[in-house]
Amino acid sequence: MVTSHDVARLAGVSQPTVSRALRDSPKVSELTRRRVRDAATALGYVPSDTGRALSVGRTHRVGLLVTDLANQFYTHTIAPMHLALQSLGYQLVLHTEASDTGSAAGNVADRLLSNSLDGVLLATTAMDSVLPVRLRDRGMPFVYFNRRASAVEADSVEVEARSGMRELTERVLALGHRRVGAVLGPANASTASNRELILRSTLATAGITIPDELSHRGGFDFETGYAGAHRLLELDEPPTVIVCANDVVAYGALNAARELGRSVPGDVSVTGFDDLPEARWPLLQLTTVAFDLDAMARRGASLLVDRIQQGPLEPYRHEWFPSHLVERLTLGPPAR
């Protein structure tokens, strides 16, 4: 196996100079760097990531922590995050856990640290999670992506849901819906609670509430949408529209409606949130709330790299991505 010592002998320099030259250190002249690179190319030498990490104290690997793989939202974030990090010289490592709340938080933090990560994007953190506290205490940089916890402040990228959710709710009202049902997300997820608050407050301006019998709560997954819509549509007086916590939940609601023989939007309207690629399929044509997910994923990645490189003393940054209604074929006026 070719080593950096072999490159040093061929280039006529010391081994530490080889390491510095291949890191483009300004302490090494351009002429020496070129000679070292030429020697490395001639010998087919590839620097060791482990060796580089030991020399600079960084692995250039960052994690994406996800505890909700059933939510397709997160699978669509991986590619733009990977590309953004790659352009900055970092690798993305997907880290999955069943939970990061309660007693599990300490174990999750330990596993993240044992993976020799320089930092982590927290994508599914619950509002009451103590994981951010554990990471802060252990000195690991992190960024809240899409959701945030209340215990620790940190850099974050989130959707500004108010504009899009209000636009959606006002459109529901304008079409004449008064019996509004909702399949809501987890109460401890900042995204779910924020969307629910906007939905209820906007309906309240028209004197409309969502009674318990017209709401169903669960995870951001297909099964929640399916079970919730099934229950709502079998009521003696079912809702004329079902507002879903996200697109994946809406997919489940659409399947329940079809199974029960209800046409969409003829018998019941269904809406989502996120505008995932599948929502645009001709088979679905889901009315939903959209935002620039690719840009948000890329920005989350770059914020994390900035935090890793700048350290903990820089002010925290919170960036919001605007949302808007995308009206397709699953929302219409209530049946007369």
At 2-13, the pLDDT tens digits run: 888 899 999 999
Whole-angstrom distance, CA of residue 330 vs CA of residue 169: 14
Strand order in the sheet with 180-184: 215-217, 180-184, 241-244, 269-271
Q: Is 222 among the domain residues?
A: yes
The whole-number average pLDDT for the span 154-177 is 97
Residue 48: predicted pLDDT: 58
Q: Is 330 among the domain residues?
A: no
Pair (203, 84) in one structural domain: no
Pair (42, 85) in one structural domain: no
Whole-angstrom distance, CA of residue 109 vs CA of residue 226: 34
* Confidence band, pLDDT 50/70/90 cuts, at residue 53: very low
Q: Is 106 among the domain residues?
A: yes
Predicted TM-score (pTM) of the model is: 0.82
Residues 245, 185: contact at Cβ < 8 Å? yes
Pair (189, 284) in one structural domain: yes
CA nearest neighbour of 235 among 179, 176, 175, 173:
179
Pair (80, 124) in one structural domain: yes
Pair (271, 197) in one structural domain: yes
Residue 252: predicted pLDDT: 97
Tell me: the pLDDT tens digits for 281-335?
999 999 999 999 999 999 999 999 999 998 877 889 999 999 999 999 999 999 8
Q: Is 328 among the domain residues?
A: no
**What percentage of the chain carries pLDDT values higher than 90?**
69
Pair (172, 253) in one structural domain: yes
Residue 32: CATH number of its domain: 1.10.260.40
CA-CA-CA-CA torsion sign (166, 172, 178, 181): negative
Tell me: the pLDDT tens digits for 205-231?
999 999 999 999 999 999 999 999 999
Pair (119, 263) in one structural domain: no
Pair (257, 137) in one structural domain: no
- pLDDT over threshold 90, residue 71: no
Q: Is 265 among the domain residues?
A: yes
* Confidence band, pLDDT 50/70/90 cuts, at residue 91: very high
Residue 301: CATH number of its domain: 3.40.50.2300
- pLDDT over threshold 90, residue 122: yes
* Domain residue limits at 98: 58-159+293-322
The count of domains in the chain is 3
Q: Is 334 among the domain residues?
A: no
Strand partners, 320: 158
